[in-house]
Structure 1
Amino acid sequence: MKDQQLREQTPSCAGCGVTLQTENAEKPGFLPETSLQRDPVICQRCFRIKHYNEASSVALDQDDFLRLLGSIGTTNSLVVHIVDLYDFEGSLISGLQRFVGNNPVLLVVNKIDLLPKGMNVNRIRNWVQRAAKAQGLRTVDVIMCSAKRNKGFEHVIEALEQHRGDRDIYVVGATNVGKSTLINRLIRDYSNMERELTTSRYPGTTLDAVYIPLDDGKSIIDTPGIVYSSRMTEVVPRSFLGSLLPDKPIKPLVYQLNEQQTLFIGSLARFDFVEGERQSFTLYISNALHVHRTKLERADELYEEHKGELLGAPSRDELASIPEWTRHSLRVKPGEKQDVFIAGLGWIQVNGLRGALIDVYAPKGVKVLLRDSMI
């Protein structure tokens, strides 16, 4: 009876969109009866994230995420796909085009504030267009912005006005791309609704579709973040996300390496320059991570003796929950300028045009690939 009355009065959490209930604290949407009088009414999980920066383990499974995505193709909507520039291949939704059908897709590239100062944003936008097309995504426009720093957001609004027509707006994206931060900006600047969604660094913050009404009777629909286990952000302990995810412009690290030299990126990944002429490599990673250089012949022994200590975080205890490393052998052909991309961690630009044989070690399942250089 209590839950029935709750559904009639407050059917969903104003923070994450999940259906509210007062019976089971282990299930999504729980809140104590004493919290029913709050305005707005939010579930206990959102309350803890908002006030204590805590996150529970409650989340939707992958089938539920795909079900929500699959329903978009039957609608007449503008689809806004938000990706993280810092983690482009890791945050792009694979196969999105088949889910959205004929609906137009606006690609919003967030977190440009993390780029090193002096970068040419238009050149990087052109790179994004080529990369999206190569992934089979057809877009009506590509907008570069930083929702957190309020940079370029006016272009997002302009693009919505240009491409929406009389459609609803579906907002989709992977976890940790800044989707809820951008939605909060839309609420303030583009909607008649005065509330904020729950925003945190933790994956799966939005648990169900949240409908945000617009003045013309249409809605902005915020969908849950897709959890991709192929990203470093999904395999490290949550306590380590603050070090892994940069929150200010990256300061590139340049290393001149001879063949048979190794770089350890904290205790998370290893980069071996196996073969090639002496050349430079530039790391675009969170500056909270420690980088250690050594000889390749000493790398195995050094890792076993000093992981989580001399090599930097995560600690040995934290590493126990992270999958064992897998080796990825990559060859950069002479004359090509490429990046070694590690999903959720960043990338290493191969600056020389002389070719190189590279081995990368990363936790099993984490995506590692070669791509045309972004910068």
Structure 2
Amino acid sequence: MTENKQSNDELRCIGCGAVIQSTDPKQPGYTPQSAIEKGLANNELYCQRCFRLRHYNEIAPVSLSDDEFLKLLGQIRDANALIVYVVDVFDFNGSLIPGLHRFVGDNPVLLVGNKEDLLPRSLRRSKLTDWLRQQANMAGLRPIDTILVSAKKNHQVDQLLDTIEHYRQHRDVYVVGVTNVGKSTLINQIIKQRTGVQELITTSRFPGTTLDKIEIPLDDGHLLVDTPGIIHEHQMAHVLPAKQLKYVAPQKEIKPRTYQLNDGQTIFMGGVARFDYLKGSRAGMVAYFDNNLPLHRTKLANADHFYQKHLGDLLTPPTQDEVDSFPTLERQEFHTETKSDLVFEGLGWITVPAGVTVAGWVPQGVSVLIRRAMI
């Protein structure tokens, strides 16, 4: 499982899959020659980036070109394989890969909703599974099955393995997903169950940790292939400073926060997003965000002044020293016909009743949208 040699004699990092090289520190796979020799001796060869990420939680920015991503996606389309599509149930919309059906070709898709442990236990899992399937259908996907797991807590991973084995029919398995859905954590659980090796693949809350595909042999000679996380540019994770990413990667079950609102009221989610109740009768609104993200209610008429005055102290993140570089919030208005979620992509959502007019504010480049209520 930890074999680094490839058929072309390339050495690859077992953490992210990048080709090991010792010439350019700014490119993927860089490792000092002394570390390469030590890694080979221990049969645990990591690039310098993965080593620092594993031991010091440091991130070094590297990127794949669009051409490299398209090449990898083309390999998926041309393969005869089962596609395991991992989404984050807490950030379903931010988990969608645009046009995925074009990349998978005729290959069957198994939809895996990860991080189910983050949602309230009161939510029936059968209802959540149905909701995920319906949302996937609306996005043009027709998965052959849908399964909920928690890779972090090892919930339902046994069932997932049985389901994969049932559908793959002696084919390769490609695991795909956008960054930050917990794909590498899930792969690590699979490796651990099959071999006893723990945390082979680099995992973190930073976008884009896996840089190249990682191939894991299956019993019949076929492969389970972990592909790089496809970068979804509209996720909140891409505008937050690294030390604030904890707010878009909840680690514990979300505790819903309920507000009885009259129209003309505003809720700030720290300083990174804003919810305005524009028109409707007094109603309960339920907020689903990381438990540590501070929420502040104020009057809509005073909201702009409140934001300018308190951004970086009362309204944080961002912190005071991050305010100048933080993107401007942009507004989008919605009217609901049914009970709906106003989604702040990658951050969370607020559930609102039918027949109201609301607005969502998010940093420039992040998406805000309305969807049928999950809960």
How far residue 66 of structure 1 moved from its aligned partner, in angstroms, is 2.6
Q: TM-score, normalised by structure 2?
A: 0.94
Are the aligned partners of 1:283 and 1:347 in contact in 2 as well (CA < 8 Å)? Answer: yes
Amino acid at match of 2:374: M
Unaligned runs of at least 5 residues, structure 2: none
Look up the equivalent residue of 1:359 and give its one-letter code. Answer: A
The one-character-per-residue Cα deviations of 1:75-115 (angstroms, maximum 9, x if unpaired) are 10000110000000111111111101000001110000101
Equivalent position to 1:332, from 327, 333, 336: 336
Counterpart-to-counterpart distance in 2, 1:356 and 1:326: 20
Deviation at 1:194, TM superposition (A): 7.6
Question: In 2, distance between residues paired with 1:63 and 1:263?
Answer: 42
1:284 aligns with 2:282: no
- 1:214-253 alignment to 2 at 5 Å? 214-253=218-257
- Trace 1:119-268 onto structure 2 (pairs within 5 A): 119-190=123-194, 196-268=200-272
Q: Which amino acid aligns with 2:219?
A: D
Partner of 2:349: 347
Alpha-carbon separation, structure 2, partners of 1:106 and 1:243: 29
Change (3 A) 1:22 1:76: same
Q: SS of the residue aligned with 1:320?
A: helix
Give the letter aligned to residue 89 of structure 1: N
Amino acid at match of 1:273: Y
Describe the shift of the 1:185–1:302 C-alpha distance in structure 2 as closer, same or farther (beyond 3 A): same
Where do 5+ consecutive residues of structure 1 fail to align?
none
Determine if contact 1:191/1:212 at 8 Å carries over to the other structure. Answer: no
Residue 146 of structure 1, CA deviation: 0.1
Q: Residue 303 in 1 paired to residue 307 in 2? A: yes
| 1:175-216 Cα deviation digits (max 9, x unpaired) | 110000001111122469887111111111111111111121
Aligned residue identity for 1:18: A
Answer yes or no: is the 8 Å Cα contact 1:45–1:55 preserved in 2.
Answer: yes
Q: Note the alpha carbon deviations across 1:231-260, whole angstroms, 9 max, x for none.
A: 111111111101332100000010000010
Q: Please name the residue that 2:320 is paired with.
A: 316
* Aligned residues of 2:17 and 2:211 also touching (Cα < 8 A): yes
The question of 1:107 aligning with 2:98 is answered: no
CA distance, structure 2, for counterparts of residue 194 and residue 235 of structure 1 = 32
Root-mean-square deviation over aligned CA pairs: 1.8
Q: In the TM superposition, what whole-angstrom CA distance separates every residue of 1:28-86 from its partner, at most 9, and x where no partner exists?
A: 11111111222211100000000001110112133322321122111100001100000
User: 2 CA distance for matches of 1:256 and 1:63?
Assistant: 50
- 8 A Cα contact 1:211 1:220, kept in partner: yes
User: Does the residue aligned with 1:292 lie in a helix, a strand or coil?
Assistant: strand
In the other structure, the counterpart of 1:19 is: 19
Deviation (angstroms), 1:317: 2.6
2:79 maps to 75
- CA separation of 1:8 and 1:34: change in aligned 2, threshold 3 A: farther
Post-superposition shift, 1:143? 0.6
- Residue 97 of structure 2 is aligned to residue 93 of structure 1: yes
Kindly indicate whether the alpha-carbon contact (under 8 Å) linking 2:188 and 2:198 is maintained by their aligned counterparts in 1: no
Q: Secondary structure at the match of 2:358?
A: strand
The answer on 1:41 being equivalent to 2:45 is yes
- Quick one: structure 1 residues 364 and 195, their matched pair in 2 at CA, closer, same or farther if it must change by over 3 Å? closer
Note the C-alpha offset of 1:325: 1.4
Name the CA distance, whole Å, in 1 between partners of 2:106 and 2:81: 9
TM-score, normalization: structure 1?
A: 0.94
Give the structure 2 partner of residue 356 of structure 1: 356
Alignment check: 8 A CA contact 2:97 2:232 kept: no
